[in-house]
């Protein structure tokens, strides 16, 4: 059945007539705008930590737009790729600006995503009913890592070439299927023109489409269950206070309040973003490595190969898994199995299954090369984030109402992550290896022991309504 057209006064302005004409022919657009923006009620106590979600969306737009202009001049050919990037930098009008916006944008993307994830961590935004929102977010993070890795090869510089060579070769450590999988990814026996074309296709077309779909799913899931807030109090729950029209009393419309509020975050971000682009686009070699300004040479290996800074915490965990470290991991498995058998209330069959599982795990750990387990640890460091909603057993969501020592725990986690990131860009050393091994154990211990430590301590009472001071 056709929708009824709404009439408008003949004295209406031209803009009102145009709007009415559009709404009569596309009413679902107006309904979506109202549901997701103008009539979407968000908690009124958002602080600066809530800037980073909108900033991530802004950087995504910057990356897509600058990527389109770069593709106009880039040549995905092993003989021409490096020269085409130099052509963009030197001869294309404003090409240097577009290229630096894209390279700086890649690092900016990870900065805001890491901060956005940390906000979710401290305020419990992954807890019920937002588990699916968190899972979509972690999938975005994983997809973003794939997008960045594939894009990193495209300049075809020394670090791009050898970084891709090292990372792709890691897949060959997987038993049985590893060599064939690495060959499939490269499209050749070494990183070559075939690899460049594959990575270009995925970086420009396939992965961005997946990324956009996940971002839409993330936002839709968020708006269906509602946004969290620094207090962790549900403003749309069954017992939440509402006005006579059913609107939450502790919420305000996203537009115009938070659209204007986010402008401040955007202004500060763009100021910092512009400062980096115009004054330090290489950022001391962290955003653009100096070796990447040298054409790729398959016959000359750089003295030290390291990935870009946003991968280095995970790369550091990879390097931490040595043959010696495997014995420490075996002890961890033994301790976990003993704890499960002695302290749990499982049936004898369940305890037997735990012992058998531990024995199989230890046998595999000792039989398979440590290089493979390094790859497992590196991948597991990301995958474990997906299980966070079920690992956190705290009776409250927000860090505001947790014991004081929980804040120190989260602080140590951040420091540990930064130290792992720093060690990942440094050449291997005995001291760095030891520190990265301790840091890897702490990283996984933070999550795997969370069901235990997150319940400990004296928790503060959570208010029935959100705390808010006008400013």
Binding residues for heme b are: 102, 116, 203, 218
- Locus of tokens 């009569």: 24
* Residues tagged in the binding site annotation: 102, 116, 203, 218, 223
> Which one, of 107, 308, 203, lies nearest residue 115 by Cα?
107
20 Cα distance to chain centroid = 41
| DSSP 8-class letter at 248 | B
Q: SS3 for 341-375, per residue? A: HHHCCCCHHHHHHHHHHHHHHHHHHHHCCHHHHHH
Please report the sign of the dihedral spanned by the C-alpha atoms of residue 425, residue 431, residue 436, residue 442.
negative
Q: Please enumerate in sequence order all residues whose Cβ is within 8 A of that of 370, keeping only pairs 6 or more positions apart, or say none.
A: 321, 322, 323, 325, 326
CB 168, CB 306: distance < 8 Å: no
What CA–CA distance (Å, rounded) separates 80 from 384?
40
Q: Which residues pair with 70 in a beta bridge?
A: none
Contact 362, 471 (CB under 8 A): no
For the chain, report the end-to-end CA distance as a whole number of angstroms: 50
- Report the C-alpha dihedral over residues 393, 398, 404, 409, rounded to 10 degrees: 60
Nearest-angstrom CA–CA distance, 214 and 137: 8
In Å, how far are 124, 228, 264, 439 from 130, measured between CA atoms? 9, 8, 27, 29
Q: Which two tokens stand for residue 223?
A: 């708006």
Number of neighbours of residue 342 by Cβ within 10 angstroms:
8
CB of 110 within 8 A of CB of 308?
Answer: no
User: Which residues make up each annotated binding site for a ubiquinone?
Assistant: 223
State phi, psi for 42 to the nearest 5 degrees.
-110, 150
DSSP state letter for 250: T
């Amino acid at each position: 059945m056709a929708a009824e057209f709404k009439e408008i006064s003949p004295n209406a302005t031209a803009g009102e007539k145009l709007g009415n004409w559009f709404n009569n022919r596309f009413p679902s657009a107006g309904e979506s705008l109202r549901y997701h923006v103008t009539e979407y009620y968000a908690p009124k106590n958002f602080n600066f930590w809530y800037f980073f979600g909108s900033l991530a969306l802004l950087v995504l737009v910057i990356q897509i737009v600058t990527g389109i202009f770069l593709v106009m001049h880039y040549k995905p050919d092993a003989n021409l790729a490096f020269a085409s990037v130099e052509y963009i930098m030197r001869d294309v009008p404003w090409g240097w600006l577009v290229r630096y916006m894209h390279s700086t944008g890649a690092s900016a993307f990870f900065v805001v995503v890491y901060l956005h994830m940390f906000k979710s961590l401290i305020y419990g935004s992954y807890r019920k009913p937002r588990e699916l929102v968190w899972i979509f977010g972690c999938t975005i993070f994983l997809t973003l890592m794939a997008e960045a890795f594939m894009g990193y090869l495209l300049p075809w510089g020394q670090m791009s070439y050898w970084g891709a060579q090292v990372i792709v070769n890691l897949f060959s450590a997987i038993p049985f299927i590893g060599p064939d999988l690495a060959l499939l990814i490269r499209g050749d026996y070494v990183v070559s023109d075939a690899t460049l074309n594959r990575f270009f296709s995925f970086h420009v077309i396939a992965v961005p489409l997946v990324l956009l779909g996940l971002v839409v799913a993330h936002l839709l899931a968020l708006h269906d269950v509602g946004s969290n807030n620094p207090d962790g109090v549900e403003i749309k729950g069954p017992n939440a206070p509402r006005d006579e029209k059913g609107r939450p009393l502790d919420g305000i419309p996203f537009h115009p309040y938070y659209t204007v509020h986010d402008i401040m975050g955007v202004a500060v971000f763009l100021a910092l973003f512009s400062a980096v682009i115009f004054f330090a686009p290489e950022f001391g070699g962290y955003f653009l490595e100096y070796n990447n300004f040298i054409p790729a040479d398959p016959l000359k290996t750089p003295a030290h190969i390291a990935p870009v800074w946003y991968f280095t915490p995970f790369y550091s965990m990879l390097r931490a898994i040595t043959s010696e470290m495997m014995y420490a991991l075996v002890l961890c498995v033994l301790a976990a199995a003993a704890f499960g058998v002695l302290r749990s209330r499982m049936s004898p069959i369940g305890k037997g299954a735990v012992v058998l599982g531990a024995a199989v795990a230890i046998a595999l750990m000792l039989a398979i090369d440590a290089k493979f387990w390094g790859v497992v640890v590196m991948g597991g460091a990301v995958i474990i984030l997906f299980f966070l909603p079920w690992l956190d057993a705290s009776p409250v969501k927000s860090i505001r109402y947790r014991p004081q020592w929980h804040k120190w725990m989260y602080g140590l986690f951040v420091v540990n992550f930064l130290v792992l990131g720093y060690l990942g860009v440094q050449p291997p050393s005995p001291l760095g290896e030891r520190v990265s091994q301790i840091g890897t154990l702490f990283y996984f211990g933070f999550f795997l022991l969370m069901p235990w430590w997150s319940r400990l301590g004296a928790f503060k009472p959570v208010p029935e309504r959100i705390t808010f001071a006008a400013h």
